[in-house]
Chains A and B, each alone.
Chain A
Amino acid sequence: GQNIDQPTEMTATEGAIVQINCTYQTSGFNGLFWYQQHAGEAPTFLSYNVLDGLEEKGRFSSFLSRSKGYSYLLLKELQMKDSASYLCAVMDSNYQLIWGAGTKLIIKP
């Protein structure tokens, strides 16, 4: 079966750095997405990785290792507004998005 695993919840301090991990087992791979979702709102696109390595975009970076079926989202200089759920999603061989359950990130002052 297809599976995306990420921690259920993480807590971090304002101004700090946090890394949210995602491991996946899917039938085929056509890229991995990270989305941010505030409670009651729609997911918003953060990043897309299809090749191994690190993609940096401002305070957010995303890393992929296809051989390990592993990705992480790195958030730097955390702000209170970063409190949200972070969803990892993998596009499988049928070009369908398989979603993780999301990691709820709590930022404390």
Chain B
Amino acid sequence: EPEVTQTPSHQVTQMGQEVILRCVPISNHLYFYWYRQILGQKVEFLVSFYNNEISEKSEIFDDQFSVERPDGSNFTLKIRSTKLEDSAMYFCASSEVGDRTPNYGYTFGSGTRLTVV
């Protein structure tokens, strides 16, 4: 069964450093998402991406965050200057037909656990 792949599985970084989280969505999917989940808390939407541009973003997704699809397969989330409160699981997800026909749900990657120290 096709999978969304995320790397690394766990990253530890010092406060103020930049991190790049990587995702390889399912190959025929067109819509890509980043979510985060602080330990023990709700899943929170960060950003959705379609046709090489951001389609929606949440209040959490401020100027410290950016997303990119540098080639045909990777989808990255960059945090420019990490803060302690950025420590969370970051999940990438992709969907085949996008927001307006969500019957199939989204396929989530296994996540990257980011720890900012």
Q: Which residue of B lies closest to A44 (CB)?
A: B108
Is there a chain B Cβ closer than 8 Å to A78's Cβ? Answer: no
Could you tell me if B102 and A100 are in contact, using CB atoms closer than 8 angstroms? no
B-chain residues with CB within 8 Å of residue A87 when the two chains form the complex: 43
Interface of chain A: mostly helix, strand, loop or mixed = loop
- Number of A-B residue pairs, CB cutoff 8 Å, is 51
Interface of chain B: mostly helix, strand, loop or mixed = mixed
Stretch at the interface among A9-17, A19-27, A66-74, A90-98: A90-98
- Report the count of interface residues on B (CB-CB < 8 A): 23
* Shortest distance from the beta carbon of A86 to any chain B beta carbon, whole Å: 12
Name A residues whose Cβ lies closer than 8 Å to a Cβ of B: 30-31, 33, 35, 40-45, 48, 87, 89, 91, 94-97, 99-102
Nearest first, the 3 closest Cβ-Cβ pairs linking A and B are A45-B105, A95-B99, A42-B108
